[in-house]
Amino acid sequence: MNVISRELVKLVEACEKARVHNDNKYRLKFHLMPPTGWLNDPNGLCQFRGEYHVFFQYTPFDSTGGLKLWGHYVSRDLLHWDYLGTPLMPDQPWDCHGVYSGSSFIENDQMYIYYTGNVKFPGDYDYIYDGRGSNTILTASKDGRTFSEKQCLLEMQDYPKNYTNHIRDPKITKKDGIYHMVLGARREDDHGAVLLYQSEDLIHWSYEKELTTKESFGYMWECPDLMEFDGEWFLGICPQGVKREEYRLQNIYQSGYYVGSGNYLGEYELKDFVEWDMGFDFYAPQTFVDEKGRRILIGWAGLPDIDKEYKNLTIEEEWQHALTVPRVITKQEKKLYQYPVEELKELRTSKVTLASKDKVTIEEGIFDLEITEIKTDKLQILIADGLTLQYEDNVFSMKFTGSIGAGRTERKAIVKELSSVRVLCDVSLMEVYLNDGEYVFTTRFYREDAPMTVLVDSEDSVNTLWKMKDMEVNYEK
């Protein structure tokens, strides 16, 4: 069995830190990224005793991925973060090939953490239908720093029979005094689904039913998330194997939610699938409700098994990927809107009002741009050398020309009306919010030596740009 010690992780982090910290080209200034190496899904998101906890899938040893551990950041205000190391390591027979994704649930003044322990048995297996253990594991914490002994709650024989070995990513909700767990799954007939379990004590779980669509929508659903808004339940999923389209579903894997009808315990029909994000880099988001009652989403600004023509240039700098900023989710009509948490406005410094076609250069490489009162049906935002955001003929597009896209060209969506645009730009990662968060586009980009410049070309709108200061991330705790 592979046992990797925290001491080894610390050594690797100490060795690589200088390299990653000295990456002046692409290193991010207000997004959480791995201390070194690879990061994927946000995990265990919660606010516990005032502190926000952001865990993440982490492979410190290799910026192209590998054995997964959980890394851990905490903050009191979403602006000052401490990196606390790797609380969950693969160190048990039921999680030895990866501490996979999972979530937190706060109850009894404790943080309960559920995750999937990945095991690949030696042998000639395909690891889809055979040879893999996907175990549901619990550990708990009273202080958000130290974690109890791990307990394996569900193993392969506890899952229904007509499923493959791909069952993972537990997330908990509570309804009428009963706890419910959703798990993402791949059925043997290659039909993605969510398994619903219930429990009265957070430890003993029994299978209730499957949540899925009649027609298959992808062969596998990852990272499920049940979200309640005014008594209506939305089911977030990340389907794999969905056919790509021109104006939506453009990435290799998808990420979005179903607008459910009614309560997931009764007759629950999954109606329309809405994508969270139309950009190149977004996957595996997770939501949680904070102590102010806000439902906050953080996504992985990246994707697995990415298209071959794209080369993430930070791999050479010994790191890869980041998390999105925290976004508040609100329900408007039948749709969920996402908008950066208010706290981020604290990072704004000097403000400039831009007339159409004014070009500004931002030395620090980071800015927050708001375009409001749009009274034109055509506009363009030119960023650095070769990144264009454009609205024309009811289509919003994000286009790359030249090396800035590192092999990527265009993402686009049909947007009937455009009332506002907000661009949060962080050196090599950009989040674009349209219509106060009705549509979002997240993407990486690589400026090489081009300065960060912005030009808004619009006949009638108010264009305000703020320079920004860095978020504080302390790695010495």
CB of 309 to ligand FRU, least distance (A): 21
Q: Strand, coil or helix: what is 207? A: strand
Q: Are 298 and 321 spatial neighbours (Cβ–Cβ below 8 Å)? A: no
CB of 116 to ligand FRU, least distance (A): 5
Interaction between residue 277 and ligand FRU (CB under 6 A): no
Nearer to ligand FRU, 52 or 56 (CB): 56
Interaction between residue 40 and ligand FRU (CB under 6 A): yes
Nearer to ligand FRU, 284 or 328 (CB): 284
Candidates 57, 75, 86, 251; binder of ligand FRU (CB under 6 A) is 57
Nearer to ligand FRU, 273 or 391 (CB): 273
CB of 475 to ligand FRU, least distance (A): 22
Q: Which of 41, 169, 368, 426 is catalytic?
A: 41
Binding mask 150-169 for ligand FRU (x = CB under 6 A): ------------------xx
| Pair of tokens at residue 12 | 């690797």
Rounded CA-CA distance 463/87 in Å is: 44
Nearer to ligand FRU, 168 or 447 (CB): 168
CB of 100 to ligand FRU, least distance (A): 3
CB of 285 to ligand FRU, least distance (A): 10
Nearer to ligand FRU, 41 or 95 (CB): 41
Candidates 86, 92, 116, 212; binder of ligand FRU (CB under 6 A) is 116
- Residue 451 bridge partners (DSSP): none
41 counts as catalytic = yes
Strands 462-468, 348-354: parallel, antiparallel or unpaired by DSSP? Answer: antiparallel
Candidates 131, 241, 304, 407; binder of ligand FRU (CB under 6 A) is 304
CB of 427 to ligand FRU, least distance (A): 24
Residue 12: its H or E element: helix 6-21
Binding mask 220-239 for ligand FRU (x = CB under 6 A): --xx----------------
Nearer to ligand FRU, 40 or 435 (CB): 40
Q: Strand, coil or helix: what is 455? A: strand
Nearer to ligand FRU, 26 or 283 (CB): 283
| Pair of tokens at residue 25 | 């080209």
| Pair of tokens at residue 463 | 């264009």
Which of 231, 222, 119 minimizes the C-alpha distance to 171? 222
| Pair of tokens at residue 195 | 């398994």
User: What is the total count of residues that contact ligand FRU (CB under 6 A)?
Assistant: 14
Nearer to ligand FRU, 185 or 379 (CB): 185
CB of 284 to ligand FRU, least distance (A): 4
**How long a stretch of residues is the chain?**
477
Edge-to-edge strand ranges of the sheet holding 410-414: 359-361, 453-458, 379-383, 387-392, 395-400, 410-414
CB of 147 to ligand FRU, least distance (A): 18
Which of 282, 236, 226, 277 minimizes the C-alpha distance to 257? 236
Contacts with 138 (C-beta within 8 Å, 6 or more apart), sequence order: 112, 113, 114, 150, 151, 153, 202, 203
Candidates 183, 227, 284, 325; binder of ligand FRU (CB under 6 A) is 284
Q: How many CB atoms are located within 10 Å of the residue 372 CB?
A: 13
Interaction between residue 281 and ligand FRU (CB under 6 A): no
Rounded CA-CA distance 213/199 in Å is: 25
Phi/psi-derived region of residue 128, left when phi > 0, alpha when psi is between -120 and 50, beta in every other case: alpha
Which of 27, 42, 36, 41 minimizes the C-alpha distance to 9? 36
Binding mask 86-115 for ligand FRU (x = CB under 6 A): --------------xx--------------
- Residue 335 bridge partners (DSSP): 332
| Pair of tokens at residue 152 | 């394996």
Q: List contacts with ligand FRU (CB under 6 A).
A: 40-41, 57, 68, 100-101, 116, 168-169, 222-223, 283-284, 304
Active site residues: 41
